A = this chain, B = another copy of it.
Amino acid sequence: MAGVLEGVTAPRGFKAAGMSCGIKRSGRPDLSLILSEAPASAAGVFTTNSVKAAPVVLGGRLLAGDAANVRGILTISGVANAMTGSEGISDNESVLSEAERLLGLPPRSLLPACTGVIGPRIPVDRVLRALPALGTSLSSAPAAGAQAANAILTTDTVAKQSSVRVRLSDGTRVRVGGMAKGSGMIAPRLAALHATTLAYVTTDARATPQGLARILGAASEETFNMLCVDGDTSTNDTIYALANGAAGGADASDDPKLAEAFTTVLRSLARQVARDGEGATKLLTVNVSGARAEPDARAAARAVVASTLVKAALFGADPNVGRIACALGYSGAKIDPDRVDVSLGRPHGGVPLIVAGRPAPGLQNGTGRKVRELLRQLDEVRLDIDLHDGVARATAWGCDLSYAYVQINAAYRT
C-alpha cells in the first residue's frame, strides 16, 4: 500500500461530476454524481436515527432489491429531503429515474443521498434541468472526482478525498478511493449499522455485495463511528461502497488487504471531516490504550472527543485535565481512576497531563503555562490515554468548540 492518489475516480472504471443546479443560494455546487462504467456490487450503512430522510429509506430499499448491479450515486446537497413524507420519496425517485434514462442506465441502478436543511422538498425541476449537463461532464479525470467531492459539501470549508493502491493477496493491483462531507450534526452511535455524514468508497477490486457489506461495516465501525463533531446524529448519514471489479482478479471479499485499504481510506476521510468540523480550529485525536475490552476503549475515546467541556477547553488552549478525567469517568467504560495516565501525544512531545489519576506536576493548580502555550500553537492535538487495565485500544476523532460553531448553527439558513 502506498502513495495517496485522488478520490473516487482513482479506481479504474469510475467517472464523476459535480455542478450547481441552483439549490444553494450561494451558487456553490450542489449536484454530484459518481458512475461506474460497469455494474458494481454495492453496500451501504445508514443512520440509526429513527427519523430517516427519504434518500436513506430509498437507498436501503434499492440495496435490498439488487445490490449486485449498481451503477452509481446521485447526491443532492442543500436539502436533506427529510420530514418530507411520501412526497420526499417520490421526488427522489423522479430525479433518479430521469438520471438513469439520460445516462442509458437500467432502472433502479443509481443510489440516492441528500444533505442540507431538514424540511424543504427537493426542487425537482431545477435538478432535472441540470441533469443533462451533469451527464456530459462525467469524467474519470482527477478533477472530475474533485468536482463531485466539492458538490456534496454543506457547511464544510474543504472537500475531503482519499485513495490508496493496494496489491491483493492474489497479486491483483487494485485501487480504493473515497470522498466525504461532514461539518455538523455528526456523532457516533453504538449500533453496528450506523454511519455519520456522507462518505463514498469506490474500488476496482472484485467483491460480492455481501462481502462488500462486511468490509464496509467493519471499516465504518472503527472510523466514521469514532467521529464526533457535535453529538447530533443526523437523519441523513450514509456511507456507500461500490466495487466494480475493473481490476480483474479473484473475488476479494475476504481478503484482509482490501479490508485494510477500506479502513485506510475511511480513516483518512473521518479525520478530514473532524478537522473541518463546524467552526473547528483544532483537530482532536484521542488514542485510548490499556482498556479491559474494546467496548471500554471505544467508549472512553468517544466520551473525550464528544465532551463539550473538553472541546471548549481545547479551543481556549486550556490544559483543564480535570475535564478529560471527568469525561472518562462518565463514559461508561470500566476504568480505575487511580491508574489513568494521559499525555499530549507525539509529535508534540509526550507531555504528561495526568499521571496515575492525578494532574501532572505543574498542572495541579490549573496554571500550566507551558502546556497552554503548546496547545495554543498546535492545530492538531493528540491525547494518549493509557487506562493500564488491559490491552484493548481505540481511536476517536473530534474538534474543538469555538464561537464560530455557535455562529454557524445559530444562523444556518439566514
Contacts and interface: CB of A to CB of B under 8 A. Distances in A.
Contact of A231 (B231, B313, B412): B231
B83 A322 contact: yes
Given A50-B330, A231-B231, A233-B330, A118 B325 contact: yes
Contacts of A189: 330
Contact of A313 (B84, B316, B323, B410): B410
B403 A322 contact: no
Contacts of A414: 316, 318
A368 B189 CA distance: 32
Interface string A86-105: 00000000000000000000
A55 interface: no
B322 A366 contact: no
Interface stretch (A65-73, A201-209, A304-312): A304-312
A337 interface: yes
Interface stretch (A38-46, A239-247, A356-364): A356-364
B358 A232 contact: no
Contacts of A252: none
A313 B409 contact: yes
Contact of A232 (B47, B185, B307, B403): B307
Given A51-B329, A234-B326, A315-B410, 6 more contacts: A50-B329, A187-B330, A231-B307, A232-B330, A312-B406, A403-B407
28 contacts: A47-B330, A49-B330, A50-B337, A51-B330, A83-B321, A85-B358, A118-B322, A118-B323, A119-B321, A119-B359, A119-B365, A120-B365, A230-B308, A232-B307, A232-B330, A235-B322, A309-B409, A313-B410, A313-B412, A315-B406, A316-B409, A316-B410, A316-B414, A318-B410, A318-B411, A318-B413, A401-B406, A402-B406
